[in-house]
């Protein structure tokens, strides 16, 4: 299985080397054109996720509801869906 970034590189190389369009390069590599433009976004809540994992590792028997309460007590503004 080849990663999408590698597909993008191959498609870009085909465009430059053979002077073909992006659509034809994607067709030649069996790669979707919409995936050619996709850029991964960074996670805005990295610190919250790390803190949640720390709490879960320290308090193994606590469930998500209890962890949510602990996070709120510590001052984290967190939705119950996140915890």
> Of 71, 67, 73, 81, which is closest to residue 47 (Cα–Cα)?
71
Mean per-residue pLDDT of the chain:
89
pLDDT of the residue at 1: 62
d(CA 54, CA 58): 6
pLDDT of the residue at 80: 72
pLDDT of the residue at 26: 92
pLDDT of the residue at 52: 92
pLDDT of the residue at 58: 96
pLDDT of the residue at 83: 66
Residue ranges, the chain, pLDDT below 50: none
pLDDT of the residue at 51: 93
What Å distances lie between residue 32 and 6, 10, 12, 53, CA to CA? Answer: 13, 13, 13, 36
The pTM assigned to this predicted structure is 0.55
d(CA 76, CA 69): 10
């Amino acid at each position: 299985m080849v990663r999408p970034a590698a597909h993008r590189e191959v498609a870009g190389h085909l465009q430059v080397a053979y002077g073909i369009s992006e659509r034809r390069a994607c067709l030649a590599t069996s790669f979707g054109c919409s995936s050619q433009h996709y850029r991964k976004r960074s996670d805005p809540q990295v610190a919250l996720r790390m803190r949640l994992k720390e709490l879960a590792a320290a308090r193994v028997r606590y469930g998500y509801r209890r962890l949510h309460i602990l996070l709120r007590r510590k001052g984290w503004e967190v939705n119950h869906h996140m915890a």
